[in-house]
Structure 1
Amino acid sequence: MADVQAALDQAGLTNPHVREYVQYYADLTGAERIEVVNASDDARLVQEALDAGELLPAGEGRYYSRSYHKDTARSEERTIVATSNPDDAGAYNNWRPASEMKPLLEGKMRGASAGKTMYVVPYLMAPRNSPLEKFAAGVELTDTRTVVLHMIRMARVGVDYINELKDPNSFVRAVHVTGDLENLGHGTPDDARYFVTVADERTILHFGSSYGGNALLGKIAHGLRQAAYDGWASGEFLSEQFMLLGITDKETGKRYHVAGGFPSASGKTNLAMTLAPDALGDRYHVEFYGDDIAWLWANPDDGRIYAFNPENGVFGVAKDTNEATNPTALHSIDSGSGAIFTNIAYNPKTQEVWWEGKTKEKPADLDGWEDWKGDVIADRAPEDADAPWAHPNSRFTTSLAQVPNVADNYDDPAGVPVDAIIFGGRTRDREPLVRAINDLAEGVYDGLTLGAEATFAAEGVEGQLRYDPMSMRPFMSYPEGHYAAHWLKIIGAATDQPIFAHVNWFQRGDDGRFLWPGYRENLRPLLWLVQYKNGEVEGVETPVGVLPKKSELNLDGLDIDEDDLNTILSIDNNRWRQEMSFREKHLAGFDNVPEAIWEAHRRVAAALDAAGE
């Protein structure tokens, strides 16, 4: 057994509550060694991982890892929020009693780290000295070295963050035990994996994975799921799966900030990391703050909503990332960036990496190439020749400092004022390019009814949306009705509120082609939105919000068909009336939805009825 106290003494970890916590779980899991980690340990840990074959070199200062072939994504059906209060159960949070889940998880963890090192990773999920710092500290215990390396890139890691807490007991206890991955019954009735957030005890217990959000506990489990619960319980803030970007008008010197939620595959990361179109680049500069999580609160000093990205890195999807779709992401993982790639194709002879969409064609010379499972591509049977080289959920991990256009104030503890909150789902019709929403309740209502199109095969209803409130469906930690009320409270506390809007880059014509070019051109509707908030343009009133006039949308340098533009700057009232019936059924599935939200629904429905065809 490890000499825990000696290891903590040697590392200078003095917080007595942390020491007690580490001792308890070291004893429980049977870890043989204890190692306390600081960010300064990264180079040594990388070399140890290379020597052990846990990482492979992917060129200068870049690394490659493979996860177990059944351990490649978050597992929502195994993810649970546990508390001591049954009233915390919602439609999406898979609530279970803490009295049931804690003993179950501790039973699975007992002795499961025998012979292994327990890494102690003290971290902060916020800029230091922020107004929300008391919710940001955590200590992850993990038995997997590559998890430590990802955490160093995704969070602020160091003993000082924990030793200097104003309340030494105000940290999230986050325990990750990998388990015997090949014998956990993935996807069977005997599945032994559990990923549990005991939210009212600020404790996270994850067993049965070494991948991504299942193992990097500062990220989704703390930074989003636990933080959302903390924000609600304290009444102080929102934690959302939001991107956050800045737009600077170089002509006026004004700077605007836009936060927004997008369901999966709806363009959130590409928007977060976008650049100005070439035709507008002389005037506008776009800055990156974050692509996945934002914490938002009302600042009483100026009456505005502020936000920051609690993470310190990017855990991005590799698939389809290239110079055209997201050059910012591509250059954040250049040589020397320290990036870690997971589950992409790898060539051990040349140390090259590749994924679908990185280039138009796969590498022509197959010599040395291995797919994401480590199988030699040249040895594939003919019937497997077209199988993907990289896993569809393959990833790259890099720090914010590596992002070429990261904002100079991304680590400002004061956060940045939010001018607009946008929602956007992938829909081929009904949603225009952008529609502004002036009313708070209608803006929150729009977020609660956010969705993206489901396939007929997946949902059984052609063209119906799979609703994903605020893009938080997989991350909800408390009931949806209370969630809506909390949104109304936090945003309503601001005297100078951000404007809400809904965006859609994915409208298609009858021939299936996209009507809007997307990517960097998406800055144009955002510019219209901040101009509308400032009263510089007036738009066109519709039952579902204010749309741009064609003359108001800056189209300099953009060649777009006039009919296509007319389509994406209009709404189909009949299609929207059908959508309202779906929305009503969706909202009815939640308890305690505030009356203000139902009133917003009825106002929009009545306006559509009054508009006729």
Structure 2
Amino acid sequence: MLELKKGEDILATVGGIEDIDQARELFSRTIDADNQQKLAAIKNEEALVKIANAIAMCKPDNVFVNTGSAADVQWIKEYSLSKGEEKKLAKEGHTIHFDLPQDQARLVKQTFYIVNENEKMSSLAKTVPRKEAKEYVQQFMPGIMTGKTLIVGFYSRGPVGANAAIPAIEISSSGYVLHSAELLYRNCFSDFDAEVERCGLFFTNLHSEGDNTSEDVPNARIFMDRSWLTTFATFCTYAGNTLLLKKGNHRFSVDYATYYKVEEQLAEHMFITGLTGPGGRKTFFAGAAPSGCGKTTTAMVGSDFIGDDLAQFWIDEQGILRAINPEKGIFGIVEDVNREGDPHLMDCLRGEGTEVIWSNVLIKDGVPYWVGNGETSPESGVNFQGEWFKGKTDEAGNPVPMSHKNSRCTLVASAIANHATELSEDPKGVPVKVITYSGRDSDTMPPVWVARNSDNGVAIGASIVSKATATEVGATGVNRQPWANAPFIPGALADYMKAQFTFFNSTRFSDGNRPIIAGLNYFLTHENRGGEGSGLLGEKRDVKVWLGWLELYAHGDVEGIETPIGIVPKYDDLAKLFATINKEYPKALYDMQFAIYVDKIIARIDLQTEAYSKEADIPSTLFEVYDGQKKELLGLKEKFGPVVQIDNLA
């Protein structure tokens, strides 16, 4: 069980501010009159003491309070430009930010949960004892903002007033971080006190880049104090490490849902999007996929895009699953973003009128370029590691691409043509009918399948596998990626899994409103399905077909074929959907994609069974699902052989 406010509050100990009187006395000495007047609007004393301790510890030259006003946001942009954290590009409203070469993605080996003694943690979580974390903070953070300005902003992770939205404070000496926060999150300065009172807690995030040198990066740390809902980040600027409103606070939200909101809420690493079905009906999907596995592409396919990364869920009083996006913008990978696969996003990136922060792409004459953009690219320019030219190699002789694989664009989601802005900002959330899970699987699972029931659905989420991606520094190989949320699950996996089984089996769902749960896989290759060559069996535009079939299935408009792993589509139904995107769908391709490769699936089940058997207290339901599927698969193999054609099951 997670116990809040257990153990020593490191920020308070190192900062030394114990009460509101001491905080106000510090403010009178360190904050100018204008910013004191702005801060006076915040009445929550716990929040004010947190801010005071950040000032006392970090010792900035100045303090700036961001109320979210146009003037304050403009000040932040100009501050970032003046420090050189961003530079203007040729297009109005576009800037470029370069992270250090060693700080291009999440620093997984330098990211830790601060833990108390005897706390149950996920076996996939890196932890640091509270005493050791305090020693680091005492060594490296006092005075880390000397010569800089501490900026504090107040944000809501979700539409203000939404059931699962949680307010948060972002404190940083980086203008880039606060500029990004303004694009990605809802400034709730005027609602902060009321929101804290409504939900009973808030998150605190404290970051400083220090001198921002490559020599400092080995000393960088990203700490999440799960007991005190406080994050610390030092000596880095990559937003995944520093804008801790994002993944740092997502971790806290997962914890909170797992231990304090069982059967009430979930916090997931999922897109949210709506698809328009027959008669104009809107059906909303939420789906998990590790980075590089098509999550943003899937979200953008929808006619009513809500979000591409995070989702907060609850079951409303009518028994309907509801979801909000805690973010209002996207921090998206740009590699392979092009007109063919991502036309709406490209309109924002190449058109006029959208504010965009680019990171770690190639810049030539003030124009950004990136790998896979589908355009003619320059032979030279400047990127995150300095001057670049075609054919450049690194010290090991490897080609240096013109843009980093984890290059990003940051923009407000409402700029995207298919974004359902009004729904996205509605605190009631959107009703979710379909949950999907997908990984990067070249040889085992079909493109789409539906779980027979909620228990089997939870097992699909628990069984995601994927290759390591460029979002994680130091990660390699093929990894298990439970729910695509495992890097963000602080507590024991068993506790998280129990919360999943409890939530999706809840009797709170009203008739017809329990979501269907499905698996997606876009990465089957010809060579692994009896064909020739290493190319994919599908392409980006096929995603609309797989989602389209799920939309029809969720409403009972089509039926499927029962298999041991779940329900798969019938050929005729898919052929009709492919026709709507002006594409032929040969029966031979369907047979390749949906054949049941028994031995491969059993090997996958055995892999997961072995891994979860090493975890304490995993619910027996998971192993019962695996055992049931394996038994049925072996029965199919005995009857039809190791590769079962789908027609044999129709």
Q: Residue 31 of structure 1: SS of its match in structure 2?
A: coil
Instruction: Tell me if 1:269 matches 2:296.
Output: yes
Partner residue in 2 for 1:197: 224
1:473-492 to 2 correspondences below 5 Å = 473-492=486-505
Contact 1:435–1:546 under 8 Å retained in 2: yes
Given residue 173 of structure 2, which amino acid in structure 1 is its aligned partner?
A: D
Given residue 210 of structure 2, which amino acid in structure 1 is its aligned partner?
A: G
Instruction: Tell me if 1:8 matches 2:36.
Output: yes
**Larger displacement relative to structure 2 (372-381 or 45-54):** 372-381
Given residue 251 of structure 2, which amino acid in structure 1 is its aligned partner?
A: R
TM-score if structure 2 supplies the norm length? 0.85
* Alpha-carbon separation, structure 2, partners of 1:340 and 1:515: 32
Question: Across the two proteins, how many residue pairs are aligned to each other?
Answer: 583
Q: State which of 413, 419, 444 in structure 1 corresponds to 2:427.
A: 413
Q: State which of 568, 578, 588 in structure 2 corresponds to 1:555.
A: 578
Question: How many angstroms does 1:103 deviate by?
Answer: 4.2
Question: What are the Cα deviations for residues 48-98 of structure 1, in whole angstroms up to 9, with x where unaligned?
Answer: 433443322221111111122211111111111223353332111213333
Instruction: Tell me if 1:542 matches 2:563.
Output: yes
Instruction: Tell me if 1:45 matches 2:76.
Output: yes
Contact 1:289–1:406 under 8 Å retained in 2: yes
Q: Residue 419 of structure 1: SS of its match in structure 2?
A: strand
Partner residue in 2 for 1:280: none
Given residue 108 of structure 1, which amino acid in structure 2 is its aligned partner?
A: F
1:91-110 to 2 correspondences below 5 Å = 91-110=123-142
* Alpha-carbon separation, structure 2, partners of 1:254 and 1:111: 57
Instruction: Tell me if 1:519 matches 2:522.
Output: no
Contact 1:105–1:194 under 8 Å retained in 2: no
Alpha-carbon spacing, 1:379–1:49, altered in 2? closer, same or farther (3 Å) = farther
* Alpha-carbon separation, structure 1, partners of 2:613 and 2:181: 39
Alpha-carbon spacing, 1:106–1:295, altered in 2? closer, same or farther (3 Å) = farther
Q: State which of 402, 416, 429 in structure 1 corresponds to 2:415.
A: 402
1:283-362 to 2 correspondences below 5 Å = 286-299=303-316, 301-333=317-349, 334-347=351-364, 350-362=365-377
* Alpha-carbon separation, structure 2, partners of 1:149 and 1:414: 28
Partner residue in 2 for 1:127: 159
**Identity in percent:** 23
Alpha-carbon spacing, 1:54–1:263, altered in 2? closer, same or farther (3 Å) = closer
* Alpha-carbon separation, structure 1, partners of 2:84 and 2:258: 43
Alpha-carbon spacing, 1:220–1:25, altered in 2? closer, same or farther (3 Å) = same
Partner residue in 1 for 2:63: 34
Question: How many angstroms does 1:397 deviate by?
Answer: 0.3
Partner residue in 1 for 2:605: 580
Q: State which of 130, 137, 140 in structure 1 corresponds to 2:170.
A: 140
Alpha-carbon spacing, 1:307–1:375, altered in 2? closer, same or farther (3 Å) = same
Q: Residue 512 of structure 1: SS of its match in structure 2?
A: coil
Given residue 323 of structure 1, which amino acid in structure 2 is its aligned partner?
A: R
Q: Residue 164 of structure 1: SS of its match in structure 2?
A: helix
Q: State which of 244, 264, 270 in structure 2 corresponds to 1:217.
A: 244
Question: How many angstroms does 1:128 deviate by?
Answer: 0.8
Q: Residue 167 of structure 1: SS of its match in structure 2?
A: helix
Question: How many angstroms does 1:570 deviate by?
Answer: 2.2
Given residue 120 of structure 2, which amino acid in structure 1 is its aligned partner?
A: D
Given residue 523 of structure 2, which amino acid in structure 1 is its aligned partner?
A: F
Partner residue in 1 for 2:265: 237
Q: State which of 270, 274, 279 in structure 2 corresponds to 1:246.
A: 274
Question: How many angstroms does 1:378 deviate by?
Answer: 8.0
Question: How many angstroms does 1:198 deviate by?
Answer: 0.8
Question: What are the Cα deviations for residues 241-291 of structure 1, in whole angstroms up to 9, with x where unaligned?
Answer: 111110122x4231101111112221111111125xxxxxxxxxx121111
Q: Residue 213 of structure 1: SS of its match in structure 2?
A: helix
Partner residue in 2 for 1:603: 628
* Alpha-carbon separation, structure 2, partners of 1:38 and 1:64: 25
Q: State which of 206, 226, 235 in structure 1 corresponds to 2:252.
A: 226
Given residue 417 of structure 1, which amino acid in structure 2 is its aligned partner?
A: P
Partner residue in 1 for 2:20: none
* Alpha-carbon separation, structure 1, partners of 2:290 and 2:62: 41
Contact 2:231–2:248 under 8 Å retained in 1: yes
Question: How many angstroms does 1:551 deviate by?
Answer: 1.0
Partner residue in 2 for 1:283: none
TM-score if structure 1 supplies the norm length? 0.90
Question: What are the Cα deviations for residues 283-341 of structure 1, in whole angstroms up to 9, with x where unaligned?
Answer: xxx12111110111222x22122111101110011111111121222223333211100
Question: What are the Cα deviations for residues 408-434 of structure 1, in whole angstroms up to 9, with x where unaligned?
Answer: 311111111111111111111111111
Contact 1:127–1:413 under 8 Å retained in 2: yes
Instruction: Tell me if 1:469 matches 2:482.
Output: yes
Given residue 550 of structure 1, which amino acid in structure 2 is its aligned partner?
A: Y
1:357-368 to 2 correspondences below 5 Å = 357-363=372-378, 366=380
* Alpha-carbon separation, structure 2, partners of 1:140 and 1:309: 18
Q: Residue 252 of structure 1: SS of its match in structure 2?
A: helix
Given residue 45 of structure 1, which amino acid in structure 2 is its aligned partner?
A: I
Partner residue in 2 for 1:567: 592
Alpha-carbon spacing, 1:212–1:254, altered in 2? closer, same or farther (3 Å) = same
Q: State which of 443, 446, 458 in structure 2 corresponds to 1:444.
A: 458
Question: What are the Cα deviations for residues 184-239 of structure 1, in whole angstroms up to 9, with x where unaligned?
Answer: 554xxxx32211111121111112211111111111111x1111011112123111
Q: Residue 206 of structure 1: SS of its match in structure 2?
A: strand
Question: What are the Cα deviations for residues 100-138 of structure 1, in whole angstroms up to 9, with x where unaligned?
Answer: 3244324321111112100001111110111123xx111
* Alpha-carbon separation, structure 2, partners of 1:512 and 1:185: 45
Partner residue in 1 for 2:617: 592
Partner residue in 2 for 1:76: 108
Q: State which of 39, 44, 48 in structure 2 corresponds to 1:19.
A: 48
Instruction: Tell me if 1:370 matches 2:376.
Output: no
Q: Residue 119 of structure 1: SS of its match in structure 2?
A: strand
Instruction: Tell me if 1:508 matches 2:525.
Output: yes
Contact 1:297–1:490 under 8 Å retained in 2: no
Contact 2:455–2:621 under 8 Å retained in 1: yes
